Amino acid sequence: MSKSEHPNNRPLRYPKARLSPAKEDRLLIKIARAEVEAGDIAPVLQQLEFMTETRELAERWEGRVAMVFAGWDDDPREVVEIPEVRRYFASLTEAWPYWLHFIEKVGDSLPLVLGLLCLGHREAIAPGLIGWAFDDLEEVRKQLLLLFLRQNALYERLGLSESMNQRITEEVAQLLESVFSGAPPPAAPG
């Protein structure tokens, strides 16, 4: 492999997301199928709520949360296509709407959040490559606006810095550019 082909020489996928201080330690939220089918958000909510108790905890866990839905491996659908998972995640988000602050922004967690909250469908991107397309970009814009408003409320309640809020907003905007490449991304609130 030549030096120019080395993976470390490729442009970063989401360079602004790399600016977040919290990247090494991740909190992987494992959401069990039984909890989803029962509509029981309490166990996962308990894992998430501690991060919003104090400013220090919110700063420590910023950009560290990822999630996995366990028990659906034999289901041929994508997790974002499963109605029970979508309902569960909508309920969880209603109770804890702080994904934009806490979700990791280097991988595909933010597109997963949006895919669970907004309707879409599988779409062929290239031969042998299937992607996800949102049905209504206005729905995505409205959902992002709600998530940003709730992030702002969290920042106000905990006294988190405006510079952190701005940085995370820029990270999210950059991720959206990648998700919506080819289509204009929904505008983030200013």
Model pLDDT for residues 55-79, shown as the tens digit of each residue: 999 999 999 999 999 999 999 999 9
The closest of 110, 91, 108, 100 to 45, measured between CA atoms, is: 91
What are 166's two structure tokens?
């701005």
Distance of CA 2 to the CA centre of its chain: 35
* pLDDT tens per residue, range 108-133: 899 999 999 999 998 887 888 888 88
Global pTM reads 0.82
Q: What does the pLDDT read at residue 190?
A: 47
Q: Is there a contact between 156 and 149 (Cβ–Cβ < 8 Å)?
A: no
Higher pLDDT, 53 or 128: 53
With cut-offs at 50, 70 and 90, classify the pLDDT of residue 19. low
| 174/180 Cα distance (integer angstroms) | 10
For helices 137-158 and 109-117, what crossing angle results, to 10°?
Answer: 120
Residue 190 lies in a domain: no
For residue 84, what are the domain limits?
Answer: 3-179
Residue 22 lies in a domain: yes
Average pLDDT across the chain, whole number: 86
Domain count for the chain, please give it: 1
